[in-house]
Chain A
Amino acid sequence: MVPFKILVAVCLAYVCMLFMVAFAAERRAQRGQIGWLRSPLVYTLSLSIYCTAWTFYGAVGYAARSGLEFVTIYLGPTLVLVGWWWVLRKLVRIGRSQHVTSIADLISARYGKSNVLGVIVTLMSVVAATPYIALQLQSVTLSFGVFASGAPEGWATPDQGATTLWLAGGLTLFTILFGTRNLDANERHHGVVMAIALEAVVKLVALLAVGIFTVWSVAGGFVDVLARIDASPIADWPLAPGRWIGLTFVSAAAVLTLPRMFQVMVVENSDERHLATASWAFPLYLMLMSLFVIPIAVVGLQALPEGANPDLFVLTLPLTQGQGKLAMLAFLGGFSSATSMVIVAAIALATMVSNHVVTPLWLSLRRGGTRAPGDVRGLVLMSRRLSIAGILALGYGYYRLSGGGAALAAIGLISFVGAAQILPCLLGGIFWRGGTGTGAALGLGTGFLVWLYTLYLPSFGTGGLLSETLMTAGPWGIGWLRPQALLGIDTLDPLLHAIFWSLVLNTAGYVLGSLATFPGPVERMQGVAFVNVFDHDPVARGWSRGGAEAEDLLAMSQGILGAEEAQQFFQREAEAQGKAGFLPETTPDFIERLERRLGGAVGAATAHAMIAQFAVGAVVSAQDLMAVASEAQQILEYSTQLEAKSDELARTARQLTEANDKLTELSVQKDAFLSQISHELRTPMTSIRAFSEILMDRDLASDMQQKYAGIIHDETIRLTRLLDDLLDLSVLENRKMKLNIKVANLHDLIDRAVRSASNIRPERDFAIRRDVSSEHMPVVTDTDRLVQVFINLVSNARKYCDAPRAEMTIHARQRKGGIIVDFIDNGSGIAGKAQTVVFEKFTRLTDTARAGGAGLGLAICREIMANLGGTIAYLPGQGGAAFRVTLPIRPGGRSDNADG
């Protein structure tokens, strides 16, 4: 017998190990080493949270009570997974393309990003999950109790209620630590998935171990077990067709609609191809989990005393056989099943609550301040943490209210039927474009109420939440409204009755509501995007034109995605549009992508609402247009015009802002320039003054006089050159340069430049490599100025190239939109940081072999090229210093980005 303290210690150690695994996986993922963290195997194992404590303990109990019927709960998911090509493939694709965060998000996104539906689905899911979480608490409490009852020293254990409370508290803490450490953009939890994959292995191994022990150690092998089954109370198989089909159907529905299954199957899916593996591997897992259920049930019924709880045979059978270690393993398996379910379910539900209830509520309360909502991340995380606690509290409440005495399977099925209510509008949403939000709300509402009335409320027992008279005579004595015999049909058993009526009325409400109403524009667009998800080009866009300022959007996104993440996203988008910096054009495509990205963090409806604040005019008029114009072409035309106009306005505003920024910046630069220039002028002046003072000394030797006069002369020349350069620069910068446009052969110009530059450090051995044949092309430009640029580049190389055998490659070619000339030397090049400042005024990178330049050469080059309508840029990664001169074929047309 295992003492209670050791049991608790083992549990804690196990949880610590899970936490470490999750932490390690999280760390790996952060370093970008996703690798096997996201393999098909891990994906399949993570799906196994379908098998909760209900499977681990409850299946045997179910089998001991009603034989083979337990297997329907696993046949349904098997059919869904095997039929992945129908539904799951589409769901996963939609989930990925729409950045869906939960099942409520999916439904809300499909039906026009309506938050009302999100709230309904969230509410239903939370209510439906409470019995399920209660089931997990109950099973772990019972399993603790098993160890308690047999203890010799009477056990200083707390009573059952206290155990459950401790358990609920511990799980809350654990889930919060696990699931809300960060607000992932795509809502993927690498750590959690890894931990539940591990738990999946533990529970499978534990159940198989107990099964093998039962068949080959307690019983006398396979044949003996078959004989025992024949002799057992469940030897006959009273197959009731209604229940058989109904339960298979409900479990098939539940595997699609349970929030936690949706979380691991769709939200956490990282690669669609994993689904192909899961399509056979997960059914295999289910089959292995079910394989020994009947043998354990039969042997348990025979070996254990009358009245033993069959829900606990997995634990009590090894215990009575004196197999403490095996029982411990089984206990851990059950513990795994319960914890993994509670963790994922709580995370999924908390995401739904925070995305569909708390965040929208908070945003609507903060009127006016919503455009730059500050740090929403903190709010979202906190609301998720509180939701997790709330959900576990509800589960605990259900456990206390229901008394904790019911069979595990019976409790689980209540949840299943509740979750299955989402099925009609889910399937309708992905296969039928005609489904509308009103229809979905009607169907969901009807199904939910019928489920509450016929199954959920009666589950608290007669005299619980529904009075005895209501159960037997109906409300106000109306017999055909009895909860378990609607319309007077009392031939069905209560469960089947609830499945039948709730789903029939649900579907009817959905279909009739959809047929009778007309969907809004956003709804219709989303309908197409969902139903035709496999068509490559999405025809419709949610935002017909952008009315938003990129800067505002960035400010808002930073609050949700985090500063770094948001800036990265914006920069990437700007880059894709061919813009530098962080602010892309607010094209409809961009806004669409941004919305989906935000949706990945806070859900589609909230993201849509947040973006709508910035583009509110755009949305309203899009809807008006669609209502008025039936011809799509008309809409397109008009909206293009509007788009152009609003784009223009937005551009103008942005240009103004940019201009203003530039002016401010220029004034700063001017100050810096003045101080620089005084410094530059002062240095030669100082030496001129010093040497002229020496010259004033009469008795100076004449050769010394000669020398000092020479120095003064050199310094004045330097001063003059500096002043010339400055004048030149100021002319160039003001774009007042008179262009003397001529036609010339590029080859000749390069020749000229190379020749002129050869007097710089003439003593140096400097090879120039050119591909002469490619240089022959006509250029129409101010040739003298262009040659000046070339001279500068070549002489710079002569001055600064530090290779022992200095060498320069000049490479010219013509590309669409311009002529490109590269000057590449074989020196050590310019360090990355200096590359950005090399074209600034007074930049001198080294003092070695300094030839008296003021650091204006490249600045002048840049200005010249700008005047000529071309560019000059530093070309990194060429093995030496490399400059690219780009020149338009004809003067006047600037060639932006010709070097890209």
Chain B
Amino acid sequence: MTPPRPPLFLARQSYRRRRMMDAARLWPLVGAFLFFLPILWHTAETPQPDTVWGGLYLFTAWTLLIAGALVLSRILSHSDTREQPGQMSEDEAPGPG
């Protein structure tokens, strides 16, 4: 008994959804990049004070990350409910008859 092969190419909507999942997976990596970027500034070695700029940068990056997560979660949960309307948890699965 071999399971049916999943299709190789998807319809436009499913394709978009897959790419949004990819984006959701990549987004924390973008976050890590933004948060770890200040390491390259070598702030400890520069003479001028950089807490102010560093702080402003971090909070801006943070806001950006949150905004992106908001958009992604909206798209993903929206398509999620549309795609699997009949999905049930095992507790409420109906019995035969």
Contact = CB atoms under 8 A, between A and B. Distances in A.
Contact of A283 (B65, B93, B96): B65
Q: Which of A97, A238, A240, A279 has the most CB of B within 10 A?
A: A279
A86 B95 contact: no
B2 interface: no
A299 B44 CA distance: 23
Given A68-B58, A283-B65, A900-B97, A230 B73 contact: no
Nearest to B23: A85
Contacts, number: 128
Given A79-B32, A276-B77, A287-B59, A85 B21 contact: yes
B73 A83 contact: no
A578 B49 contact: no
A64 B70 CA distance: 32
A248 interface: yes
A891 to B, nearest CB: 24
B81 to A, nearest CB: 7
Contacts of B31: 78-79, 82-83
B62 A237 contact: no
Given A280-B73, A291-B59, A576 B96 contact: yes
Nearest to B21: A85
Contacts of A235: 49, 51-52
Given A78-B31, A237-B43, A230 B49 contact: yes
A578 B66 contact: no
Interface in A264-301: 273, 276-277, 279-280, 283-284, 287, 291, 294
B39 A241 contact: yes
B73 A229 contact: no
A556 to B, nearest CB: 21
Nearest to A238: B44
Contacts of A11: none
A219 interface: no
B97 to A, nearest CB: 5
A228 B76 CA distance: 43
B97 A239 contact: no
Interface in B72-97: 72-74, 76-77, 80-81, 89-90, 93-97
Nearest to B24: A85
B44 A276 contact: no
B25 to A, nearest CB: 5
Q: Which of B41, B44, B52 has the most CB of A within 10 A?
A: B52
A204 B67 CA distance: 20
Nearest to B75: A276
Interface in B6-32: 21, 24-25, 27-29, 31-32
B93 to A, nearest CB: 8
A29 interface: no
Contacts of B74: 276
A55 B36 CA distance: 22
B58 A237 contact: no
Interface string A75-92: 100111111111000000
Helix, strand, loop or mixed for chain B's interface? helix
Contacts of A666: none
A68 B25 contact: no
B42 to A, nearest CB: 8
Contacts of B65: 78, 82, 283
A608 interface: no
A364 B54 CA distance: 58
A200 B72 CA distance: 25
Interface residues of B, number: 45
Interface in A229-260: 229-230, 232, 234-241, 244-245, 248
Nearest to A295: B55
B28 A83 contact: yes
A237 B24 contact: no
Interface string A836-848: 0000000000000
Nearest to B76: A276
B73 A279 contact: yes
A71 B60 CA distance: 13
Contacts of B27: 82-83
Interface residues of A, number: 48
B51 A240 contact: no
Contacts of A97: 90
A283 B95 CA distance: 42
A538 to B, nearest CB: 10
A86 B96 CA distance: 36
Q: Which of B67, B73, B81, B96 has the most CB of A within 10 A?
A: B73
Contacts of A774: none
A238 B73 contact: no
A203 interface: no
A244 B39 contact: yes
Nearest to B74: A276
A100 to B, nearest CB: 14
Given A68-B58, A86-B28, A235-B51, A75 B39 contact: no
B76 A578 contact: no
Contact of B49 (A236, A248, A280): A236
A67 B73 contact: no
Contacts of A894: none
A593 B93 CA distance: 12
Contacts of A277: 73, 77
Nearest to B57: A68
Contacts of B67: 280
A287 B66 contact: yes
Contacts of A291: 59
A291 B56 CA distance: 10
Given A236-B51, A900-B97, A287 B63 contact: yes
Contact of A83 (B25, B77, B94): B25
B95 A578 contact: yes
A279 to B, nearest CB: 5
B51 A68 contact: yes
A897 interface: yes
A864 B63 CA distance: 78
A244 B34 CA distance: 13
A82 B69 CA distance: 6
A515 B14 CA distance: 38
Contacts of B51: 67-68, 229-230, 232, 234-237, 294
A229 B52 contact: yes
Contact of B62 (A78, A241, A244): A78
Given A280-B73, A284-B66, A75 B35 contact: yes
A462 interface: no
Q: Which of A75, A80, A226, A245 has the most CB of B within 10 A?
A: A75
Contacts of B21: 85
A577 B95 contact: yes
Given A83-B28, A273-B77, A578-B97, A237 B36 contact: no
Contacts of B72: 279
A575 interface: yes
A416 B74 CA distance: 32
A239 B81 contact: no
A636 B45 CA distance: 67
Contacts of B76: 85, 276
4 smallest beta-carbon distances between A and B, as pairs:
A83-B28, A576-B95, A235-B49, A280-B69
20 contacts: A68-B58, A82-B27, A82-B31, A86-B28, A230-B52, A235-B51, A237-B51, A240-B44, A248-B35, A276-B73, A279-B72, A280-B70, A283-B62, A287-B63, A287-B66, A576-B93, A576-B96, A578-B95, A593-B90, A900-B97
Interface of B: 21, 24-25, 27-29, 31-32, 35-36, 38-39, 41, 43-44, 49-52, 54-55, 58-59, 62-63, 65-70, 72-74, 76-77, 80-81, 89-90, 93-97
Interface of A: 67-68, 71, 75, 78-86, 96-97, 226, 229-230, 232, 234-241, 244-245, 248, 273, 276-277, 279-280, 283-284, 287, 291, 294, 572, 575-578, 593, 897, 900
Given A81-B69, A236-B43, 9 more contacts: A68-B51, A71-B58, A78-B62, A235-B51, A236-B44, A236-B49, A276-B74, A283-B65, A572-B95
